[in-house]
Amino acid sequence: MREDFLPVNRADMEKLHIEQLDFVYISGDAYVDHPSFGTAIISRLLQAHGYTVGIIPQPDYRDAKSIAVLGRPRLAFLVSAGNMDSMVNHYTVAKKHRKTDSYSPGGEMGHRPDRAVIVYCNLIRRMYKDVPVIAGGIEASLRRLAHYDYWSDSLRRSILLESGADLISYGMGERSILAIAEALDAGIAVRDLTYIPGTVCKVRSKEQTRDCVMLPDYRDMQKNRRKYAESFYIQYCNTDPFLGKRLAEPYSDHCFVVQNPASKPLSTEEMDDVYGLPYQRTWHPMYDEAGGIPALAEVKFSLTSCRGCFGACSFCALTFHQGRIVQARSHESLLHEAGIMTEEPDFKGYIHDVGGPTADFRGPACEKQGTKGACPGRQCLFPEPCPHLKADHEDYIALLRKLRALPKVKKVFIRSGIRFDYVLADKKSRFLEELCRYHVSGQLKVAPEHVSDKVLACLGKPKHAVYEEFASRYRKMNEKLGMKQYLVPYLMSSHPGSTMKEAVELAEYCRDLGYMPEQVQDFYPTPSTISTCMYYTGLDPRNMKPVYVPKDPHEKAMQRALIQYRDPKNRPLVEEALKRAGRTDLIGYGPKCLLRPAGNGQKAAPHGKKKVIRNIHRRSSKK
């Protein structure tokens, strides 16, 4: 063992003179001691507060004894599926098995089970019936109440009931896990921990829910999908740590799942402390022979500067997990971490990213949000920026300049994405010039997602004209700087609200842009998003209006193929889609046609990389 890693077996415990650990952390990911991995953050935080923690990474889920390799913990087992939901990790949107797992040794698939939190918790219960079990991480967090499960196409119960865990620590768990640890260490029974912010618990009597907003009964939601949409929206409006109410979800007369309000956001000083813990910043050496853990490559030379997002995209679960209030680290903390990076032997001079959920968010959306909460009845950017929005990139610009000035740093990239509508809302306009001059390498990827305003409204994204305005300003700025850099849009197919008409509209946009994306994101219904609620119920939970939902796999394949209409493999699907949409006018020889008539030597239009980039630039130059 290297003593700078936490113990992973009994021999490690003996070397550290530990007879019994306070906590045993079971993770679906391999053990990577880096602050981009939730296991590392929570375990190092507990260690910093005087608790001993051991890690069981990817135990053999076929053998209950694998849960016992570190023995019985004094206080509790902590359980997480890892940095990803295990079902998303294992399956594509078409429900086909993925071939690799970036969070496992050598990228090899098969080291974790489906529904990992449920499996691990049940293994613990077979070995230790009376030890407290605390579930956390993205999988437990987003399944904390009844939720639509895409893979079984059913409304499932809270994962707290399905797993047999005692508590869920949801969201970003630093505050809640320390409160749980202190309570257990003080001798309070886990069944009595019904009050901690950022947790979900079980209670047996209705009297214990007197201070709660009562959600629809699970049994009623199973019978009536509208009830689920109503429940979801109540949850959505109560994610704020300042304004959110305590919620109770009935399952029977003697079983209620109670969600306490979210934990308060961390201050800058607290964020700095969390990211300043003694991480080894690499995988455990036991993975060296397998070639390490591929996921580390994506984050090793990146900086997490913020958490939380007020962007409110409908298909994103960040509102339920990190929340809408943006929290940021100090410049000093980030510069210190960057300095450590530059001393790594494989550092080549490039910082790959400085950001978070949205890179250019460096603080709360308005003056009141950080202390009084985010407005439950309105969004900060959608459908238009709120009049109280504080759109200001000055702090981010100053941070990027300091990072660029560090010795050994050649270039600082921004890869975690910017909100183009937020950039436009900043009246100073200095950020766009800094971005183009210093932080783009040939292509800037942004996410308009669609071109139909009808679909964009379902997506929670700004109108297409806003993206077009940004594209125009981006082109003009690069012309001013004498730089040839291009805009590459991320597009999504088959999102709720998209009929074949809107899918054809998106294909026509790609035609006019001269752009065929190599990859298209087909909408993936994952737990705890507005879009997934739409997918399951056919209703927009924000207003209860019906929404068209493309669910048939063949229709979804057609919508996806339309965006890549130039690919010869997609011709049969594209032709069928155009006929179904009543757009056979797009089959012919005219300049606006997507397909040549059948039997006339139909070939894919050129879409090599250089051609695509040149056409994108040419299109933008006309505006």
Residue 606 pLDDT grade (very low, low, confident, very high; cuts 50, 70, 90): very low
Q: Quick check: 621 pLDDT over 50?
A: no
pLDDT at 3: 58
Q: Quick check: 2 pLDDT over 70?
A: no
Q: Quick check: 265 pLDDT over 80?
A: yes
Give me the helix-helix angle, 553-563 and 500-513, nearest 10°: 20
CB–CB of 208/194 below 8 Å? yes
Q: Which residues 6+ apart lie within 8 Å of 554 measured at CB?
A: none
Residue 514 pLDDT grade (very low, low, confident, very high; cuts 50, 70, 90): confident
Q: Quick check: 508 pLDDT over 80?
A: yes
Q: Quick check: 619 pLDDT over 80?
A: no
Q: What is the pLDDT of residues 362-404, one digit of tens each?
A: 999 999 998 899 998 889 999 999 999 999 999 999 999 999 9
Contacts of residues 540-543 at CB distance under 8 Å and 24 or more positions apart, as own/partner, are 540/458, 540/496, 541/229, 541/230, 541/232, 541/233, 541/236, 542/233
Using only the alpha carbons of the chain, give its radius of gyration. Answer: 25
Rounded to an integer, what is the distance from CA 618 to the centroid of its chain?
Answer: 34
Q: Quick check: 482 pLDDT over 90?
A: yes
Q: What is the pLDDT of residues 178-195, one digit of tens each?
A: 999 999 999 999 999 999
pLDDT at 441: 85
**Which has the minimum average pLDDT: 104-108, 203-207, 440-444, 608-612?**
608-612
Residue that is written with structure tokens 């197919």 in the block: 493
- Cα distance between residue 290 and residue 489, in whole Å: 36
Q: What is the mean pLDDT of the chain?
A: 94
Coil, strand, or helix at residue 547?
A: coil
- Average pLDDT estimate for 126-141: 97
- Average pLDDT estimate for 473-481: 96
- Cα distance between residue 478 and residue 78, in whole Å: 50
Residue 1 pLDDT grade (very low, low, confident, very high; cuts 50, 70, 90): very low
CA atoms in the 13 A half-sphere facing the CB of 26: 33
Strand runs labelled E in 247-398: 247-252, 255-259, 282-283, 302-304, 306-307, 327-328, 350-351, 353-355
pLDDT at 600: 54
Q: What is the pLDDT of residues 23-79, one digit of tens each?
A: 999 999 999 999 999 999 999 999 999 999 999 999 999 999 999 999 999 999 999
- Average pLDDT estimate for 96-120: 97
> What tokens appear for 433 in the block?
């010039």
Q: Quick check: 602 pLDDT over 90?
A: no
- Average pLDDT estimate for 310-339: 95
Strand runs labelled E in 45-171: 53-57, 76-80, 133-136, 147-149, 154-156, 167-169
Query: Can you list the domains of the chain with their CATH numbers?
Result: 10-198 (3.40.50.2300), 301-439 (3.30.750.210), 442-623 (3.30.750.200)
Q: Quick check: 273 pLDDT over 80?
A: yes
**C-alpha separations of 131 from 13, 308, 311 in Å:** 20, 33, 40
Residue 192 burial by Cβ neighbours in a 10 Å radius (0-12, 13-18, 19+): exposed
DSSP string, 453-499: HHHHHHHT---HHHHHHHHHHHHHHHHHHT---EEEEEEEES-TT--
pLDDT at 64: 93
Q: What is the pLDDT of residues 571-588, one digit of tens each?
A: 999 999 999 999 999 999
